[in-house]
Structure 1
Amino acid sequence: MKVTGLNTHPLKSGRAIAQTSVSVQMDGLAGDRRFMVVDADGQFITQRELQLLAQVEATHVSGGVHLRMNGHMITVPFDPARRIDVQVWGSDVNAAVAAEPVNATLSGWFGRPVKLVHMDDQAARAVGEEWAGQATPVGFADGFPVLITTTASLADLNVSLIAKGQEPVGMDRFRTNILIDNDEPWEEDLWESVEIGGIVFDLVKPCARCIMTTQDQVTGERIGGNPIQGLAEKRMSADRRVPGVLFGWNAVPRGEGTISLGNGMRVVKAREERWPMKIRA
């Protein structure tokens, strides 16, 4: 088994950026989900309610970020002294915020009042103590530093979708960080810890999927195959702690270093049992 995909998402819910090699830090892949759009009250906004975010390409620049969307472009610097409190899935973060003229421009792009914030060196967020054994640092990701998925599981999902008369979907729908090429569908359910490029990752919690998986990751439109329907047959969680359909695993790095496309992956520790699922006919 080996790594065949590496992706970062500089802007939460913005377009993925494919990488050939990336630094792994304790809070995830370098540059992943360090910027975020929030509403006037500081609540995070994602493609769930603002589908246009799928059209935004974000690129890190010195001191800030460059954004592009449908011919619009803007380079956004951040002053570490200019800060606001924001919320992402119940976590409070004191983040750097863009200047008001920038926020006014972005509000025009999206047709609603928004602000752009940055998880800079002064910002901190730690989550996942229940699952990871101790609170782990993370950027603006939903809950954990890294998401790991596999090619065989996507292939199996697409078999289900085709059987339903739907179009197959790409892995971009699942906004993964590390894609592993493997042969057995859903074998990641039995991986407790894996090693890639000399770094151990603990797979601590399966990832429940939402309506974003039904959205085209270029346009944001809800078109094509519906992964939620495809997963519902045999990937519906039977554990109330993680309700819904599951695809991929949230992971916590236990070291730092660099990983690259082509790196092998080995299982360091296996689980004794799979995650319980409700099997539907």
Structure 2
Amino acid sequence: MSVVSELCLYPIKSCAGISLREAVLTPAGLMSQQIYDREWMVVDADGEALTQREFPKMALIVPRIKGDMLEIHAPGMLRLEIPLGLPHPDDERLRRVRVWDDEVDAYDCDEMIATWFSKAIGTDCRLVRFHPDAKRLANVTWTGGVEVPTFFSDGFPMLVIGTGSLQDLNEKLAAQGRAALPMNRFRPNIVFSDVPPFEEEFAELYRIGEAVLKPVKPCPRCPIPSIDQATGEFGPDPLDILQTYRVNPRVGDHVTFGINTILREGEGQIVRVGQTVDMELAF
């Protein structure tokens, strides 16, 4: 039987994550201390999302939840603190922002925060926060017609990867004389251990305690796995190895690694590291 071995929350899209011992399951993804996964996002002057794909140093922006603040660190920068409380409903700092094909309203954080992020990343940008009245849904083609909310994720509320899948990749890298990669290169929310390589992709459902999660779409991979999350530098890209055995016709022959997942039952349930996972296979 599989076990939850890692939980990770990414408060700011494309910045470092927060490793958790437990998290609350919500339809929009993991939540901890009322902070949701990808609740914040960095945008350019036109409101377009910035990511590690273009700005790999975003990996070095490290958020932490400290009391009623989101505390943020970056090399060579003074600590930044952002209040966790939502702005007043009448706050007029709204900005229309875009993530892939979706446009939503977001709160525009203040000029001091924009200046801090611009210096940390090396380009003019602003930090925005998902507006509670905004609505962004995962692709219903993959969710079976179910309306599944998500914040500023690439498209789905949770990404699941099994440790066996990474071990399989690392064995192939080692056979080529290349270094093993850590799991954080693939930025999952939930990691399962004690599961054969890629079996998580062939499950119909995952049962964790009273919660039921459903894997829905294999995750097409971009260049981010080539970025060392500890240095913010591009390194050898594993996509050339993945290309030899992970081309997936279900998603237009893109290379996939990990499975996008939605919550079917158990909103508000707590998932914990060490908890067992009952994986119901689809065949």
What is the TM-score of this pair, normalised by structure 2? 0.90
Match of 1:196? 208
Match of 1:126? 137
1:123-168 deviation per Cα after TM superposition (whole angstroms, max 9, x unaligned)? 3311221100222101111110110000111110011111122111
Offset, 1:261: 0.6
Offset, 1:62: 6.8
Which amino acid letter does the alignment assign opposite residue 250 of structure 1? N
Offset, 1:64: 5.9
Instruction: Check the 8 A contact 1:158/1:230 in 2, yes or no.
Output: no
- Unaligned segments of structure 1, at least 5 residues: 273-281
Match of 1:67? 72
CA distance in 2, matches of 1:63, 1:93: 26
Offset, 1:100: 2.1
Identity across matched positions, percent: 33
2:79 counterpart of 1:79: no
Task: Tell me the C-alpha RMSD between the 2 structures.
Answer: 1.7
Match of 2:63? 58
What are the equivalent positions in structure 2 for 1:38-117 lying under 5 Å apart?
Answer: 38-60=43-65, 65-72=70-77, 73-77=79-83, 79-80=87-88, 81=91, 82-117=93-128
Aligned with residue 182 of structure 1, among 172, 194, 197: 194
Instruction: Check the 8 A contact 1:208/1:243 in 2, yes or no.
Output: no
1:31-55 deviation per Cα after TM superposition (whole angstroms, max 9, x unaligned)? 2111110010000010000111000
Give the paired residue count. Answer: 269
CA distance in 1, matches of 2:101, 2:172: 34
Which amino acid letter does the alignment assign opposite residue 67 of structure 1? I
Which amino acid letter does the alignment assign opposite residue 79 of structure 1? P
Offset, 1:200: 0.6
Instruction: Check the 8 A contact 2:204/2:282 in 1, yes or no.
Output: yes
Which amino acid letter does the alignment assign opposite residue 76 of structure 1? I
- Unaligned segments of structure 2, at least 5 residues: none
Aligned with residue 211 of structure 1, among 223, 226, 233: 223
Match of 1:25? 26
Offset, 1:188: 1.7
Match of 2:255? 245
Offset, 1:75: 1.6
SS for the counterpart of 1:167 is coil
Instruction: Check the 8 A contact 2:105/2:131 in 1, yes or no.
Output: no
Instruction: Check the 8 A contact 1:44/1:88 in 2, yes or no.
Output: yes
SS for the counterpart of 2:254 is coil
CA distance in 2, matches of 1:182, 1:120: 39
User: Which deviates more from structure 2 when the two are superposed, residues 179-188 or residues 77-86?
Assistant: 77-86
